[in-house]
Chains A and B, each alone.
Chain A
Amino acid sequence: QQQVKQSPQSLIVQKGGISIINCAYENTAFDYFPWYQQFPGKGPALLIAIRPDVSEKKEGRFTISFNKSAKQFSLHIMDSQPGDSATYFCAASSSGTYKYIFGTGTRLKVLA
């Protein structure tokens, strides 16, 4: 019940295309859903996050879509660029638990 399932494991997209990464969760107590971006040799860094009171959040080329009834959320990267090539992790947490559950990661490669 604590798992966050992430897919796909890897993704190759042409420059200018749309990258889509999906996550699903079971625990309905989760109330914060961030996405982290990690470049090789670096630690993850927060990219964008959403709370379940909204169905979509957009920041530049990055959008989170959230479906509370299906317990799913996804990251969309519009106009994907080679500089977006990185590993992306979804995560979930619930207030007061002080900890996050991370997905297994998606390695994105954007071809020039």
Chain B
Amino acid sequence: NAGVTQTPKFRVLKTGQSMTLLCAQDMNHEYMYWYRQDPGMGLRLIHYSVGEGTTAKGEVPDGYNVSRLKKQNFLLGLESAAPSQTSVYFCASSYHSTGELFFGEGSRLTVL
């Protein structure tokens, strides 16, 4: 009954360091998304995927890369972290293109 699982839950990086956030879902959903949540700005879409092997840019893709090599996993990478990337990152998945989004519990990233 895991749903959407994100790792790690917390991370502190120095400017210029790289890291990868992992999202795993066990619901066999085709669609997966990465959002960032910042105070007063709601949820903004970074990248999304409509199926294994596919990715597409969202509203705020700069500074991030993604991969979806397996249907159940969606990875978000930061190649050279910047303080502006300090945020809470949420992964979500859905069965239909406009169906219910199932969110993970978030990954809080701080870039010093």
Could you list which residues of chain A lie within 8 angstroms of chain B, going by C-beta atoms? 6, 9, 31-32, 34, 36, 41-46, 49, 89, 93-100, 102-105
Contacts and interface: CB of A to CB of B under 8 A. Distances in A.
A17 B17 CA distance: 49
A44 B102 CA distance: 8
B65 to A, nearest CB: 18
Contacts of A36: 101
Q: Chain A's interface: helix, strand, loop or mixed, by majority?
A: loop
B57 to A, nearest CB: 10
Contact of B101 (A9, A42, A100, A103): A100
Contacts of A93: 98
A43 B48 contact: no
Nearest to A43: B103
